[in-house]
Structure 1
Amino acid sequence: MQEVRGVIARGKGGPVELTTILVPDPGPGEAVVRIQACGVCHTDLHYRDGGINDDFPFLLGHEAAGVVESVGAGVTDVAPGDFVVLNWRAVCGTCRACLRGRPWYCFATHNASVPMTLPDGTALSPALGIGAFAEKTLVHAGQCTKVSPAARPAVAGLLGCGVMAGIGAAVNTGGVTRGDSVAVIGCGGVGDGAVAGAHLAGAAKIIAVDTDPRKLEWAKGFGATHTVNAKEVDPVAAIREITDGFGADVVIDAVGRPETYRQAFYARDLAGTVVLVGVPTPDMTLELPLLDVFGRGGALKSSWYGDCLPSRDFPMLIDLYLQGRLGLDAFVTEEISLDGVESAFSRMHTGDVLRSVVIP
């Protein structure tokens, strides 16, 4: 058992708190990881605000990279000293999805079995089974993906959630390939990841859609060839005009609201693909004419974590970064300490940052 500092949310909507947490020694199949960097993701804010569930107190943070400090019995894939990116979908290998050769859909993912706690014994609920706004955390060893230690931790950790979700939405779920036209609605961290993924895949036209001119400028840096300010023009009409009147081959909704999903639906070409990667809230509903769903053909897909397989995708993307082919550094707006998380949440609301990264 170790005492470390960590950032927790004690109750719905209250300010986060930097406090002492207890990290157990790793049990069978588990690992303790010394966190070197952790991105501040909207999902952490959702946890704090009670938008995920009410299993308070939460140990926040999940978009992280660090060094394995110790492992439990039976762990063979990682060892102390390995530089790893943490993931929240450690595949089981035995569920029906894994046995069908689709482990990125694993229905029985693993987390550590023993909880981290406060000094009084109160069990903490780690965000997405990770809890990385802390100096160290306990995870299942399958949540640790070994990557090249040449990568900067502040950059590598971003693959643990938002950037991977965006890249994967384009490449894995959307199947973007060379020559395609792609529109991305919402240009935060996930949306810009989708722009970067479409660029990597060789898309000919990449249309970034947002209501914030700053975010549209950021999207250009990741490969957007066109931008659309949805406050000024109808984004569906604009996307159609840019694509010779047809609509985009793939439209990615990185916002996750009924109105943006309808825009995505009608902004795609016949037989095109819509990918929903933005996370809706439980109260949201969608109504579309069923004849339009039938008549437009194509595919309506949801993207879970960019349909990624961490063991396959994280090392590949880090290699592309180290080769200068994937500009991950541009996602990092600022590096902050553990006591700066609440302020980072405020800057997230105002759109002043693409990603704040905690350096414990």
Structure 2
Amino acid sequence: MVQRVRGLVAPGRDEPVRVETVVVPDPGPGEAVVAVQACGVCHTDLHYKQGGINDEFPFLLGHEAAGVVESVGEGVTEVEAGDFVVLNWRAVCGRCRACARGRPWYCFDTHNASQPMTLTDGTVLSPALGIGAFAEKTLVAAGQCTKVDPLAAPAAAGLLGCGVMAGIGAAINTGQVGRGDSVAVIGCGGVGDAAIAGARLAGAAKVIAVDIDARKLQAARSMGATHTIDSSAQDPVEGVRELTGGFGADVVIEAVGRPETYRQAFYARDLAGTVVLVGVPTPEMTLELPLLDVFGRGGSLKSSWYGDCLPSRDFPMLIDLYRQGRLDLDAFVTETIGLGDVELEKAFGRMEAGEVLRSVVVL
């Protein structure tokens, strides 16, 4: 039966968000309806609101979410009604060339629900990252639902759906941080702090946090950073080298997404070291590096797609670590808010000001 629920919609470029009635259809083949319990406020949602992703307004915002499967469509076997799930925005196809080569985390044909959600007048909504979870219920592809331990707190678990997974995966999956490695993380917002936590999980001996904000550096220490560098007062490349015997870090994770900080990451790594770009640049940004330096320094320059994660593998594992007290996902939840337009606009402002790691909408 078609359902009508409350949801937060971005009607046009840079227009205030507003609470609307969202029409959610019954799940079709391969689809699921999820009752959303919590959804993090991510920079990507703000980019959608500002028109920085595309202009397919109106958007149903929200994508970093956890909830309970309410119903499933024909042919769905991976989840069933009553399952507690974390939503992901890369439901792998199992058939493309990446999946066929045993690398499903690179899947080139990820998919979302086929049916649209709409406003009551029939206007089709574009769900953020194919999820649209700032709503009481949402329709997704069943492959976007990853079953995890139901005892996990929804506000914390949902953060694996985007930013926290991106950061942890940048360290563990993409950067392949190993025991005893030295790691530098440039940019200590939610993703950067998650990369710090991931590096510590992987056994890094030295984790250096780099930022221009003293508050963020303090938070980075609580996430596992062993050293901090205030790059507003000290050259970060020289600072990382001083802390690594003059050589540079084995792995440098750039969590800002700017040419200036990428160059810092490039030169702050050791010879044959690895740079991981997980910060998201804007379309107009370009990068220039001396090609001889690229050749002469060796190593790897990598980009991290969603932390190169495989949700079916990584989400349950990380939730288990959380339940064991080995991964403090609760520390990423700065505040919880309700499903309201004014509250979300204020949360966007606090996020831009660097006052929070994550605001989480709790339903």
TM score, norm. by length of structure 2: 0.99
Query: How do 1:14-25 residues align onto structure 2 when only pairs under 5 Å count?
Result: 14-25=15-26
Q: CA deviation at 1:98?
A: 0.1
Q: Distance in 1 between matches of 2:152 and 2:194?
A: 18
1:120 maps to: 121
Alignment RMSD (CA, Å): 0.4
Q: Secondary structure of 1:274's match? A: strand
Tell me, which stretches of 5 or more residues in structure 2 are unaligned?
A: none
1:345 maps to: 348
Q: CA deviation at 1:348?
A: 0.7
1:145 is aligned with what amino acid? T
Q: CA deviation at 1:19?
A: 1.1
2:21 is aligned with what amino acid? T
Tell me, which stretches of 5 or more residues in structure 1 are unaligned?
A: none
1:185 maps to: 186
Q: Secondary structure of 2:118's match? A: coil
Q: CA deviation at 1:293?
A: 0.2
Over the matched positions of the two proteins, sequence identity in percent amounts to 79
Q: Distance in 2 between matches of 1:61 and 1:142?
A: 18
Deviations, residues 10-60 of structure 1 (Å, cap 9, x unaligned): 111111111111001100000000000000000000000011000000000
2:359 is aligned with what amino acid? S
1:354 maps to: 357
Q: CA deviation at 1:350?
A: 1.0
- Regions of 4+ moved over 3 Å: none
Deviations, residues 154-188 of structure 1 (Å, cap 9, x unaligned): 00000000000000000000000100000000001
Q: Distance in 1 between matches of 2:146 and 2:122?
A: 30
Query: How do 1:145-184 residues align onto structure 2 when only pairs under 5 Å count?
Result: 145-184=146-185
Deviations, residues 289-322 of structure 1 (Å, cap 9, x unaligned): 0000000000000000000000000000000000
Query: How do 1:324-335 residues align onto structure 2 when only pairs under 5 Å count?
Result: 324-335=325-336
Q: Secondary structure of 1:76's match? A: coil
2:249 maps to: 248
Query: How do 1:192-203 residues align onto structure 2 when only pairs under 5 Å count?
Result: 192-203=193-204
Q: Secondary structure of 1:219's match? A: helix
Deviations, residues 117-170 of structure 1 (Å, cap 9, x unaligned): 000000000000000000000000000000000100000000000000000000
Query: How do 1:1-360 residues align onto structure 2 when only pairs under 5 Å count?
Result: 1-339=2-340, 340-360=343-363
Q: Distance in 2 between matches of 1:349 and 1:190?
A: 14
Q: Distance in 2 between matches of 1:176 and 1:222?
A: 16
2:297 is aligned with what amino acid? R
Q: Distance in 1 between matches of 2:235 and 2:16?
A: 38
Q: CA deviation at 1:342?
A: 1.0
Q: Secondary structure of 1:169's match? A: helix
Q: Distance in 2 between matches of 1:217 and 1:315?
A: 29
TM score, norm. by length of structure 1: 1.00
Q: CA deviation at 1:349?
A: 1.2
2:164 is aligned with what amino acid? V
Q: Secondary structure of 1:138's match? A: strand
1:139 is aligned with what amino acid? V
Q: CA deviation at 1:326?
A: 0.3
1:5 is aligned with what amino acid? R
1:163 is aligned with what amino acid? V
Q: Distance in 2 between matches of 1:115 and 1:240?
A: 52
Q: Distance in 1 between matches of 2:42 and 2:185?
A: 19
Q: Secondary structure of 1:338's match? A: coil
1:99 is aligned with what amino acid? A
Count of aligned pairs between the two proteins: 360
Q: Distance in 1 between matches of 2:17 and 2:248?
A: 44
Q: Distance in 2 between matches of 1:222 and 1:14?
A: 35
2:332 is aligned with what amino acid? F
Q: Secondary structure of 1:182's match? A: strand
1:246 is aligned with what amino acid? F
Q: Distance in 2 between matches of 1:349 and 1:140?
A: 31
